Structure 1
Amino acid sequence: MMLNKALEYSTAYLLLGGNLGDRKANLKKAIELLNDKIGKVIAISSLYETAAWGKTNQPAFLNQAVGLQTNLSAVAVLDLALSIEQELGRVRKDKWGARLIDIDLILFGDQIINIPDKLQVPHPHMQSRKFVMEPLAEIAPEVVHPVLGETMLNICRNIKDPLEVKKL
C-alpha cells in the first residue's frame, strides 16, 4: 500500500512584458499558457505602461505581474516560461530589444537561487526597476524579499527609478 504524500507547492511571481504586436492579447495569452503549463494563476496585476528601459528607442512596454502556485522547481518554471515565449513568437535578437513577450521569474517562494548564466532568484535588479516593483507590489504587497528583508510595498515606495510607470 502506498501512502499519498502531499505535493509541495511554491508561489512564483513572474513579470510579463511586451512592446510589439497586440500587447494586451500577448499578455493575456501568456497568462493562459502559464496557468495551463506551470501552475494555477492566483493573482494578476493591472496593466502598466512603461517607456522602454535599457534600449530606449523603441515602443513603450505593457507589463503585468502574475502570481501562481506550482509544484515545479524554479528551473522548470523558467524553462517552461521560455518555451511559452517561443510559442508566442519571441525571437531573441538584442539585449533589451523590442519583443512580443518577455516572461521573467522574479520570486520563487522565499528561495535564493544562483545558477550562473541560467537563473537568479530573486531577480537581481527587481528592487531598482519601477516597472517590476509597481505591478508586483500591487499583487504581493506583504511578500518579503528573501535577501533584502523588506516587503514589496516598502521596496516600491522607496525606489529611485525615474522611469515613468503608468497604471492603465
Structure 2
Amino acid sequence: MSQHKVILLLGSNLGDQKKNLQTALEKIQQTGNEILKVSDFLTSEPVEFASSNIFCNIATVIFTHLSPFQLLNLIKSIEVEMGRTYDSKVTGGYTDRVIDIDIVKYSEIKFLSERLNIPHQKHLSEREFSRILLKDLYKT
C-alpha cells in the first residue's frame, strides 16, 4: 500500500482553540496517519462570514495510506466527534466551528467533485492566512 503526502489546514474559533487543534492532530495520528510537520499557530479573522470569534489555525503535512475520499470521511468524522454540527458544503455557508479540517493538497493529484476539490484553490491562492501557514511549513 502506497503512502501519500497530504497537506491539511485546521482551524477552530470556538472553545479552547489550541486544544481543539491538538486534539484533532492526535485523532488524525491515532488513525494510522504519520504527522511529518506542523506549522506554528496563527490567529485570523473569520473569512467569508461575520463572527466576533477569532480563528486559531495550523497547517500540517501528513503521510497517509488512505484514498482522498477515505481521508475526507475520516476528517469529517473527527469534526463531528469533536462537536462540529454544521458543514459548509451542506449548509451552503460558513459558521463558527469547534474544528475545521481541509485537505489542501494530496500528493500531486488534481481532483474535482461535489464533495472534494484537490488542490483546495481557495487555500492556495485566495486566503492570506493559508498562504502564511503553508509558507511556515516550508521555512528553513
- TM-score of the two chains, using structure 2 as the length reference: 0.91
For 2:112, the equivalent position in structure 1 comes to 114
2:67, 2:8 → 1: CA distance? 14
Contact 1:58 1:98 (8 Å CA) reproduced: no
Q: Which runs of no fewer than 5 residues in structure 2 stay unpaired?
A: none
1:38, 1:100 → 2: CA distance? 23
Q: Which has the larger radius of gyration?
A: 1
Contact 1:74 1:108 (8 Å CA) reproduced: yes
Quick check: 1:53 aligned with 2:51? no
Which stretch shows the higher mean deviation, 99-108 or 124-133?
Answer: 124-133
> How many residues end up aligned between the 2 structures?
135
Q: Residue type of the partner of 2:10?
A: L
Over residues 27-79 of structure 1, what are the superposed CA-to-partner deviations in whole Å (9 max), with x where a residue is unaligned?
00000001111510001000000011111233110000011001111111111
Q: Give the secondary-structure state (helix, strand or coil) at the position aligned to 2:109.
A: coil
For 1:67, the equivalent position in structure 2 comes to 61
2:67, 2:137 → 1: CA distance? 22
Q: Larger relative contact order (C-alpha < 8 A, sep ≥ 6)?
A: 2
Moved over 6 A (4+): none
The Cα RMSD (Å) is 1.6
Quick check: 1:84 aligned with 2:78? yes
Q: Residue type of the partner of 1:16?
A: L
- TM-score of the two chains, using structure 1 as the length reference: 0.76
Q: Which runs of no fewer than 5 residues in structure 1 stay unpaired?
A: 1-6, 142-168
2:55, 2:102 → 1: CA distance? 14
